[in-house]
Structure 1
Amino acid sequence: MRLKTYRVTTMPEAMVLIKRDLGDDALILNTKKVKTGGLFGLFRKDCLEVTAAVETMEEPAPKSISPVNTQAMPAEAPLKKSQENDALMDELQSLKRLMMHEGPEDRLPESLRPLRSLLEKQGVEKAVQTELLSKLLQASENEAPVQEAFHAELIRFIEQHQQAVKNESPSIACFIGPTGVGKTTTIAKVAAEQLLEYKRTVGLITADTYRIAAVAQLKTYGEILDVPVEVVESREQLAGALDALKACDVILIDTAGRNYQQAEYIEDLQKLLPETQHIHTTLVLSMTAKYEDMVQIIGNFEALSIDELLLTKKDETASAGVILNLLHRYRIPLRRIATGQNVPDDLVAATPGRIADYIAGELRHA
């Protein structure tokens, strides 16, 4: 095994030297910050001390050994050296397996390790952590504070992965999703937003006839906002309601929230929505749900051609990492996040800066 130590300014600089001297199979065994240079202990600079190693082929044993050498060398000496070499090889192989399994971020400098802990606490997937931390590792030697660099990298990540909404103001929008995510309240918020902020006329339709309370709730919102409300149970009735509300600038459709694992629910929605007219479909998900469940929900609803995601109940969870996971995994736009029950206030734009604040706010304000 061949070991070599480098003193460099940045980690990328070390990687170039290690690859040149030790090859592609070299492993980084240790990194630490040290002081170097200066005069009489003054003007010393920070640098990185990086130790790397590579396995080497064992040298062939000599073809013959003279009697004098044989007698002079104790029999246990070469055996002991061989055992030491074997132990070093085993340790190196263990390090190699560990590094290959855990990834380069496990060699993070001390300053970046709290960021990894924060991402883990926020429920950010391993692949997303690796992408973020790899970028930060490359930039870890610049003069920007770690917190600011982290926030900037989060914004860059979100901007890179967040898909643009095809139609910022769809004239007809249908809200779907599992039970309990707050679709009806969210629709009221969107209706109020369209009325008060954009000065558009709004019509409401509910197809959630499975719950009498849902119909009553939407009608109450309709009375408060002074907008018409239609109740439908079939595609034919929906067509009639759309015709009755055609003078409205925006029509919002509420649907029943049921068990997303039931295939008949998806089929019922497919039977409800018209085949010849595209309706902007917004899938509403709660941020209190497990990410694995969200993945399954999206998979079940993809048959309906999801145009947009809307996340609710941000106020009920301290974890926002699921937002990064969704943006990384799906090419589905995320435009809004519901942050509470207040209508119409608790509905905000899912801007990169706001999402980054959700993730890094705890660190930035510590």
Structure 2
Amino acid sequence: MLVKTFQAEQMSEALRMVKAEMGLDAMILSSKKERRKGILGFFSKPYFEVTAALEPRPVAPRPNPYQEEQPPPRELSTREEFQNSMLGPLAREVRELKQRVEALTRKDAASAAPPADKGQRGEAGGEAEAPRTFAKEELEEIKKLLYSAVGAKDNGLPKALSFPMADAAEPVVSGAIETFAKPLHATAATAAPAASAAADERTQMVLELLAAELRAAELSPAAIDLLVDHIRPAAEAGATAHQLRGMLVQTLSGMVKCAGSVRMKKNGTKIMAVVGPTGVGKTTTIAKLAALHALNRGLSVALVTTDNFRVGAVEQLKTYAKIMDLPLEVVSTVPEMQEALAAHADKDLILIDTAGRSPKDSERIEELKGFVECHPGIETYLCVSATTRPRELDEIVAMFGSLPIARLLFTKLDESESYGCIVDTHLKHKLPLSYFTTGQKVPEDIELATARRLATLVVKEVAR
């Protein structure tokens, strides 16, 4: 068995190296994230190390270019093999037996004395010739039956021959056919388990390869087991890795629920607040949503911000509001928030930008709760980064869970190496997905979250 270790800066790149050099039959033995040594522990870059194994296949001998090609030998049918191995020799033995019997018959006829009279000859001849004539007829019948069996046109296995009144010949022929049939049945009985074992091994290797790719996407073990169990019947039926990846995309798409675009009110104002930890890109996301609805959809939009803590946060949003010619309200208390909402009650959409809060600061989160609950029509979106580790994502959702969170909004997909955390967070906390952001450009780098898009990111990205 050939075992080799591959190193790359990205897990997806390491898997591509495995498939490029060892093919789809390679089996992933281990995968881990390491860090190269740097100066006093600094300036060290992480890398991924994947160990794969491949069972070598026997190499076919190279043909001699100077040797004349010989036509391949004609494969014999089962009937021809049976004829050559069993019925042919039996027919020759029967011919030899017939010749010996005929010779003995002629010898007996020549040495027999003429009968005394016609009556006695008829009486004696009737009793003496009957057995000899009957044996000769039986031998002729055996010959015909054997020759017809040898020259039969049937493509299947010959049935055991039965010869009436020939007790000596029947066991020989039947035994010969049984002797020929036993190796066939034995070979079939041996080949069936061997073929089944090979198919099971191939199925297991393909499933392990796909499971390794899903682990590289940082999907949880529970989700991986669920997906692999779903495609296992198709893998056992002989589906290729490409077909199984398509099934994974389809299955994962059915597991993910997305909220769709922001639904405007017919006779009222839609109010949307974006909350989340620090540094996830809430202000830029607010600007993208404002441009998406004001410039692209032609709706009247107003901006409100409570972010008086971060240096330059208000100035950044003011710049966006000035470019898009949108009103901006800066509030610091709950009554000011209520006044700003009342002042823009004629707008189609009000977007509220909030200050980032640490998930460990429960006091600040309770303060934020007063802002998002000051009006019954506020719909709260939790904004988190796709680069956040799964354990930290669970902590963020749990701490911000004291707020009336309605949707999840993931940012920085362009900076993430894997997307399984999005699936796990969505499935674990039962919060629909709303938008994905994929860069800093306003308003281009924002898109509506769809189940198909997320499933393609998780499955296809690691399969490139």
Structural mapping, 1:41-120, within 5 Å: 48-49=196-197, 109-120=204-215
Write the letter of the residue equivalent to 1:335.
Answer: S
User: Residue 327 of structure 1: which of 397, 403, 426 is its match?
Assistant: 426
CA drift of 1:144 comes to 4.7
Deviation at 1:167, TM superposition (A): 5.9
TM-score (norm 2): 0.54
Q: How far apart are residue 357 of structure 1 and its match? A: 1.8
Q: 1:166 to 1:188 in 2, by over 3 A?
A: closer
How many pairs are equivalent? 272
Q: Per the alignment, do residues 352 and 155 of structure 1 end up closer, same or farther by CA in structure 2, a change over 3 Å counting?
A: farther
Gaps of 5+ in 1: 1-38, 53-105
- In structure 1, which of residues 161, 184, 189 is the aligned counterpart of residue 283 of structure 2? 184
Contact residue 205 and residue 254 of structure 1 kept, 8 A = yes
- Separation of aligned partners in 1, 2:384 and 2:255: 22
Are the structure 2 counterparts of residues 300 and 221 from structure 1 closer, same or farther at C-alpha, using a change threshold of 3 Å?
A: same
Alignment match, 2:41: none
Q: Residue 326 of structure 2 aligns with which residue?
A: 227
Instruction: Quickly say closer, same or farther: Cα 1:51–1:355, change in 2 above 3 A.
Output: closer
Residue pair 1:201, 1:249 contacting (<8 A) in 2 also:
yes
What is the match of residue 257 of structure 2? 162
Larger Rg: 2
Instruction: State the partner residue of 2:317.
Output: 218
User: Relative to 1, partners in 2 of residues 1:147 and 1:326: Cα closer, same or farther, differing over 3 Å?
Assistant: farther
Offset of 1:165 from its aligned partner? 5.6
Listed one character per residue, the Cα deviations across residues 56-110 of structure 1 (whole Å, up to 9, x for unaligned) are xxxxxxxxxxxxxxxxxxxxxxxxxxxxxxxxxxxxxxxxxxxxxxxxxx99611
Residues 272-281 or 186-195, more deviating: 272-281
User: Quick check: 1:282 aligned with 2:381?
Assistant: yes
Match of 2:130 in 1: none
Q: Does 1:131 align with 2:226?
A: yes
Whichever structure has more helix as a proportion of its residues is 2
1:173 aligns to what SS in structure 2?
strand
Identify the residue that residue 204 of structure 1 maps to in structure 2: 303
Alignment check: 8 A CA contact 1:308 1:332 kept: yes
Secondary structure of the residue aligned to 2:287 is helix
Runs of 5+ consecutive residues of structure 2 not aligned to the other structure: 1-76, 79-190
Matched, 1:361 2:456: no
Indicate the SS of the match to 2:339: helix
Q: What is the distance in 1 between the residues matched to 2:430 and 2:340?
A: 32
Contact 2:278 2:357 (C-alpha < 8 Å) held by counterparts: yes
- Partner in structure 1 of residue 59 of structure 2: none
1:20 maps to what in 2?
none
Alpha-carbon distance, 1:162 to partner: 1.5
Give the match for residue 445 of structure 2.
346
Identity of aligned residues (%): 34
Deviations 1:132-165 (A, max 9, x none): 1111112213465322332333333332342546
The 1:335/1:145 distance shift into structure 2, 3 A limit, reads farther
Does the 8 A contact of 1:287 with 1:313 survive in 2?
Answer: yes
- Secondary structure, aligned partner of 1:271: helix
Deviations 1:218-258 (A, max 9, x none): 11110111100000001100011111111211000000002
Structure 1 residues 114 and 227, CA, compared in 2 at 3 Å: closer, same or farther? same
Q: Which amino acid aligns with 2:250?
A: I
Q: Does 1:299 align with 2:398?
A: yes
Give yes or no for the alignment of 1:255 onto 2:255: no
User: Alpha carbon RMSD of aligned pairs, Å?
Assistant: 2.8
Deviation at 1:331, TM superposition (A): 1.2
Partner of 1:314: 413
Deviation at 1:50, TM superposition (A): 8.5
**C-alpha displacement at 1:124, in angstroms?**
0.6
Q: Structure 1 residues 142, 192: closer, same or farther in 2, change over 3 A?
A: farther
